[in-house]
């Protein structure tokens, strides 16, 4: 793992998203999915499971039985007719995901997402969905995470019948990503300073975009090896608020929850430091805006870049 290569991987995001948009215009990777899907089981670890959690929630909201399972879980849904299994692994070799997938092989339709053609995960697949993120030279799942999210948005749209011009969405996210990268000279040093406390950094997001908080916390742990943890915005007032009483509490908050104001009331009362990425919230120490940040789909695909760039900044230092 290399911090300079990690930064280069992040800087390649807009071009990679544009390339994915082009490939999706040329062919639909989900065209061969069965029409009688009644249950969807996502399998993955780390960033893969974070992304799957968002997709599973959207499917449940549309009335489709769906779960994002740890590949390492011993208990899960049994194979059954009408089940679509979606294993996710950038390398195609996550042993836990492969072990879980073996339970379904031959007993369910499998659509595998991977960034590595010919990898072990493809041997079990009825359909292979390439992430098309390009090589991640740093060894850190950043572009593959973003592309996994994008493809799962396409998958949920197909299964639910929700209209979605995914290539157009990806181009908007590419523009937003490029904007944050191009303007980082105006915000990165200040954001890095605000979040650089003695007790780690915390990340907060609404349930519908919880993966943004989870991915952000992972990047702080994986790159610069800082203590970091993620929390859902409404749940924050029940489980993480206590830390603001005793710690020098520093957090990134991704707005969009109806409970943003509830959390920020405690932040103001306790004098904690919160950086918001997206629309400003009263009490935030600083706010980073970008084009499209009021669109939940654009935000989902874009906002973790702020944490990723702060992590790269600390890691390089």
Phi, psi (deg, nearest 5) at residue 37? -75, 125
Closest CA to 88 of 51, 62, 60, 54: 51
Closest CA to 49 of 214, 188, 288, 189: 214
Along the 317 residues of the chain, how does pLDDT read in single tens digits? 799 999 999 999 999 999 999 999 999 999 999 988 999 999 999 999 999 999 999 999 999 999 999 999 999 999 988 999 999 999 999 999 999 999 998 899 999 999 999 999 999 999 999 999 999 999 999 999 999 999 999 999 999 999 999 999 999 999 999 999 999 999 999 999 999 999 999 999 999 999 999 999 999 999 999 999 999 999 999 999 999 999 999 999 999 999 999 999 999 999 999 999 999 999 999 999 999 999 999 999 999 999 999 999 999 99
Q: Are 190 and 310 in contact (CB under 8 A)?
A: no
218/214 Cα distance (integer angstroms):
6
Q: 166-182 and 304-316 helices cross at what angle (nearest 10)?
A: 40
Which domains occur in the chain, in start order?
3-166 (3.40.50.10490), 183-316 (3.40.50.10490)
Specify the DSSP element, H or E, that contains 219: helix 210-222
119/91 Cα distance (integer angstroms):
7
222/56 Cα distance (integer angstroms):
25
Its pTM stands at: 0.96
Core vs surface per residue 267-281: b (16+ CB within 10 A) or e: beeeebbbbbbbeeb
């Amino acid at each position: 793992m290399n911090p300079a290569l990690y930064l280069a991987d992040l800087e390649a995001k807009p071009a990679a998203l544009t390339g994915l948009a082009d490939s999706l215009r040329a062919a639909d990777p989900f065209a061969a999915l069965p029409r009688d899907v009644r249950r969807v089981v996502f399998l993955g670890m780390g960033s893969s499971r974070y992304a799957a959690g968002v997709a599973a929630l959207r499917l449940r909201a549309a009335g489709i039985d769906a779960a994002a399972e740890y590949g390492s879980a011993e208990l899960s849904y049994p194979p059954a007719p009408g089940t679509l299994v979606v294993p996710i692994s950038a390398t195609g070799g996550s042993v836990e995901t492969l072990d879980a997938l073996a339970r379904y092989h031959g007993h369910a339709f499998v659509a595998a997402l991977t960034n590595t053609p010919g990898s072990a995960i493809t041997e079990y697949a009825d359909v292979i969905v390439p992430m098309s993120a390009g090589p991640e030279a740093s060894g850190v799942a950043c572009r593959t995470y973003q592309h996994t999210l994008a493809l799962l948005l396409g998958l949920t749209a197909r299964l639910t019948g929700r209209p979605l011009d995914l290539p157009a969405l990806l181009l908007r996210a590419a523009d937003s990503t490029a904007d944050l990268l191009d303007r980082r000279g105006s915000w990165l040093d200040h954001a890095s300073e605000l979040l650089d406390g003695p007790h780690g950094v915390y990340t907060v997001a609404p349930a519908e975009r919880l993966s943004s908080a989870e991915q952000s916390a992972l990047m702080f742990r994986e790159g610069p090896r800082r203590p970091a943890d993620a929390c859902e915005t409404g749940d924050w007032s029940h489980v993480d608020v206590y830390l603001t009483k005793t710690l020098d509490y520093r957090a990134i908050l991704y707005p969009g929850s109806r409970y943003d104001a509830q959390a920020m009331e405690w932040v103001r009362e306790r004098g904690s430091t919160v950086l918001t990425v997206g629309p400003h919230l009263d009490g935030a120490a600083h706010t980073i805006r970008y084009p499209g940040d009021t669109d939940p789909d654009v935000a989902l695909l874009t906002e973790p870049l702020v944490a990723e760039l702060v992590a790269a900044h600390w890691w390089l230092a």
